[in-house]
């Protein structure tokens, strides 16, 4: 019997491109039809995703072919998500029972879960990024004595809204461009008022989170052999997923309901001390953001895309959770009371659980076990 002819490079590229396009099409329907994704929070994301979809539709096949050609020695790479989608699609079409068995395969399960991670977090990071961009621009407009700028897109036709947004940007950008006089007092701290310093800390705060969310967005929206950030594994337990996604919308509303942090009577009212606490808070958040940046293109919740040991990860294994919780305590210290302290401790306990589930998940990777020997401290150097 004659041996079946192996598919050509172009055929293999088309198969994988079509498999990814199918998944992207399903997500496009979700993002443009589901009521949750139709609210204003995700208005900036829809044009972003439509553009990414069009880019894949027109150029994706050439990218896949170039990738197959570049990495031809790894035709059946265990992390070849396109191949996994093809296998699943074939089983779904020809053999439904086999399809459900395939979902239990560790490699294929990793591909499916990685898609879920991207599908959940990419819209959120786009929304957060645009929100901080809006705050940065309006803080600068306020500093220059100009009217606020509406950078965040509103709900409606994505292309029409994007066009209206671009027209406004073209009109407003010239008047917001910095000039020398805007920085005249920057190098003379003695002239700064409390209001100036408060404004500066707020401005820096939004820049920190703009960088943090932008870097995270790059990690969630990009996964490629070219970037060496393919997913090795995904958190395998439902508990690990719950303690993670409950820290993000819409599920964090549940945490906010049961762990409310309403302000009590002020116990610190001195403006200078309030300013010091705010500076400490912003500094802690800066370390938190540096932990995100340390991952490069490997950043992603719930996944292992390669072990990182640079930046703050040289000192402790979970610097982001440590500094975020510390910043929250500093933020709420002026209005802290026993009830609020209890709920804040519980909230930080959720992040301790996230660290515990991550340790359990990443501990399956020998690279992480080697990293633990180099960095034995979970949160506090020399203590724990």
- Choice between 208 and 130, residue whose per-residue pLDDT is larger: 208
pLDDT at 278: 95
pLDDT at 347: 93
Say what angle helices 106-143 and 81-94 make with each other, to 10 degrees: 120
- Give the pLDDT of residue 383: 82
| Per-residue confidence band for 110, with pLDDT thresholds at 50, 70 and 90 | confident
pLDDT of residue 66 exceeding 80, the answer is: yes
With 0-12 / 13-18 / 19 or more C-beta atoms within 10 angstroms meaning exposed / middle / buried, residue 184 is exposed
Print burial letters for 237-261: b (CB count within 10 Å at least 16), e (below 16): eeebbebbbbbeeeeeeebeeebeb
Mean pLDDT across the stretch 29-37? 93
Distance from chain centroid for Cα 247: 12
* 205-214 confidence digits (pLDDT tens): 999 999 999 9
Report how far residue 12's alpha carbon sits from residue 224's, in angstroms, rounded to the nearest whole number: 17
Q: What is the DSSP letter of 304?
A: E
Share of the chain above pLDDT 90, in %: 52
In which band, very low, low, confident or very high, does the pLDDT at 95 lie, cut at 50, 70 and 90?
Answer: confident
**pLDDT tens across 288-321, in order?**
999 999 999 999 999 999 999 999 999 999 999 9
Over residues 42-57, the pLDDT tens digits come to: 988 988 899 899 999 9
pLDDT for 264 equals 77
pLDDT value at residue 153: 61
Distance CA 354, CA 321 (A): 9
Q: What is the CATH number of domain 232-384?
A: 1.20.120.1630
Average pLDDT across the chain, whole number = 87
pLDDT of residue 216: 96
What confidence tens digit (pLDDT) does each residue in 222-266 have? 888 899 898 999 999 999 999 999 999 999 888 888 888 887 788
Domain residue ranges in the chain:
1-198, 232-384
**pLDDT band, very low/low/confident/very high, at 151 (cuts 50, 70, 90):** low
pLDDT at 157 over 70: no
Tokens coding 42 = 């995700």
List strand residue ranges (DSSP E) for 261-369, in order.
303-304
């Amino acid at each position: 019997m004659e041996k079946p002819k192996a598919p050509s490079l172009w055929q293999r590229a088309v198969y994988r491109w079509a498999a990814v396009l199918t998944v992207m099409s399903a997500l496009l329907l979700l993002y443009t039809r589901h009521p949750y994704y139709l609210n204003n929070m995700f208005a900036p994301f829809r044009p972003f995703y439509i553009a990414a979809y069009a880019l894949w539709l027109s150029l994706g096949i050439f990218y896949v072919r170039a990738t197959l050609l570049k990495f031809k020695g790894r035709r059946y790479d265990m992390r070849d998500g396109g191949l996994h989608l093809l296998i699943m699609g074939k089983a779904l079409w020809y053999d439904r029972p086999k399809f459900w068995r395939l979902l239990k395969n560790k490699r294929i399960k990793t591909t499916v879960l990685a898609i879920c991670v991207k599908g959940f977090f990419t819209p959120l990071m786009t929304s957060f990024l645009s929100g901080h961009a809006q705050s940065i621009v309006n803080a600068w407009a306020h500093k220059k004595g100009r009217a606020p700028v509406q950078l965040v897109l509103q709900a409606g036709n994505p292309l029409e809204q994007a066009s209206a947004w671009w027209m406004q940007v073209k009109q407003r950008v010239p008047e917001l461009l910095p000039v020398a006089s805007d920085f005249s007092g920057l190098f003379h701290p003695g002239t700064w008022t409390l209001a100036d310093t408060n404004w500066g800390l707020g401005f820096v705060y939004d820049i920190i989170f703009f960088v943090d969310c932008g870097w995270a967005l790059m990690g969630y929206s990009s996964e490629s052999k070219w970037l060496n950030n393919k997913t090795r594994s995904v958190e395998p337990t439902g508990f690990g997923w719950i303690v993670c996604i409950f820290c993000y919308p819409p599920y964090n509303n549940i945490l906010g309901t049961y762990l409310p942090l309403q302000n009590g009577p002020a116990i610190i009212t001195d403006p200078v001390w309030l300013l010091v606490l705010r500076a400490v808070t912003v500094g802690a958040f800066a370390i938190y953001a540096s932990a995100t940046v340390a991952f490069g293109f490997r950043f992603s919740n719930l996944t292992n895309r390669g072990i990182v040991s640079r930046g703050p990860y040289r000192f402790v294994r979970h610097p982001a959770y440590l500094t975020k919780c510390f910043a929250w305590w500093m933020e709420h210290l002026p209005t802290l009371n026993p009830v609020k302290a209890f709920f804040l401790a519980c909230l930080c306990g959720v992040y301790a659980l996230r660290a515990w589930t991550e340790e359990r998940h990443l501990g399956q990777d020998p690279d992480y076990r080697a990293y633990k020997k180099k960095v034995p401290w979970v949160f506090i150097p020399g203590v724990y």
